[in-house]
Amino acid sequence: MNIIKTLLSIISLMLLSACSYLLTDHKNDYLKEKQTKSIVLPENQSSRPIVDYFPINTKNDEQVGSGYEIPMPQQVFSSGTSNEVRMHKLGELRWVYVETLPSSAWPVMKDFWTSSNYGLSLSNPNTGIIESNTIESLKDNSKLIMKIEHGIRQASSEVFVSHVVQLNGDWVRVSGEENLEAKVLRQVLDYFASSPSSGGTSLVALNLNYGQKAVLKQSDDNKDSFIELNLEYARSWAAVDRALKEALITVNDLDRDQGIFFVEFSKQEEEKGFIRRMFSSESFKGKYQVIIKEVNENTCMVTIVSDGEDSKLYERDLLSEINQSLS
């Protein structure tokens, strides 16, 4: 019995000692360590060579010269979309729509011009403009100018191409069969469609991502809301027309010359309790005018006018529905 008690006492002391060691702060123990001799390998053994996997370029500017190319940056983010690409046409205006941010479309389009027969003479990521070399086979001083802009929808881009020729010191649009805009845009469409959807993003073109064309704003007195469209009138009208159809808003009549859509908008009543709304199909339905007003050549404003006081309560809801369909 005494032996068992002795063993239990020894075990208890050992456990207490172990706990004491574990609970002691050892963060500064390394300061007490002493340096020992380096390991010496036997003569018939060799150590693994040290390889610098991330070498630093120590060349100066004179040694680098014009042949050195700065590597492209890695992808920072993607739009997370399906990268749908399609051609749009409105009157004589044509453009390519692609579901990716302008900063992602920019490097793809630079590669397009570099690999094309037209070449690349100028590129400005701040303005989104790319110019080709002079096309001497058609007309003297003829060239192609591309403009990359943020689209109406979020995380989308619009690509425009103009074929211009210099006459009397001014650049004017090439007319007739010699105009290459439609041909080049089809080539751009095919190039986007064949490019990988997970392309990179240009850091120098990030500012192009902030040029949204549809913005919901408040008036100066914060009483009224409106949508600012950074588009010419024809495109604004077409964009709102498409948005109303996508939002399933009934259009009873329209007047394009006056810029008015006469619509009906229904909204589920929210004053009732949750249980009553579940079993009730009652909703408010009012008549509204969706008005498009041209502010200047490249800007329009979309406002809502209701027929009565009850309808006025849901003007902002209707405007939000249109803005959501636009973007």
User: What's the domain range around 219?
Assistant: 214-326
Q: Indicate if 222 and 322 belong to the same structural domain.
A: yes
pLDDT in tens, 229-277: 999 999 999 999 999 999 899 999 999 999 999 999 987 655 445 444 4
- Cα 239 to Cα 55, 214, 291, distances in angstroms: 52, 10, 13
Q: Indicate if 194 and 89 belong to the same structural domain.
A: yes
Higher pLDDT residue, 12 or 279? 12
pLDDT in tens, 87-109: 998 888 899 999 989 999 999 99
Query: Does any domain span residue 196?
Result: yes
Q: How far apart are CA 304 and CA 290, in angstroms?
A: 5
Within 8 A by CB and 6+ apart from 224, the residues are 218, 303
Size (the chain), residues: 327
pLDDT tier at 203, thresholds 50, 70, 90: confident
- Three-state DSSP class for 259? coil
Average pLDDT rounded to a whole number, residues 114-133: 91
Within 8 A by CB and 6+ apart from 73, the residues are 200, 201, 202, 203
Domain boundary residue among 188, 210, 232?
Answer: 210
Structural domain total, the chain: 2
Average pLDDT rounded to a whole number, residues 120-136: 90
Q: Indicate if 200 and 300 belong to the same structural domain.
A: no
Tokens 């208890």, located at residue: 12
Domain boundary residue among 195, 210, 225?
Answer: 210
pLDDT tier at 301, thresholds 50, 70, 90: very high
Query: Does any domain span residue 120?
Result: yes
What is the pLDDT at residue 227?
92
Within 8 A by CB and 6+ apart from 305, the residues are 288, 289, 291, 315
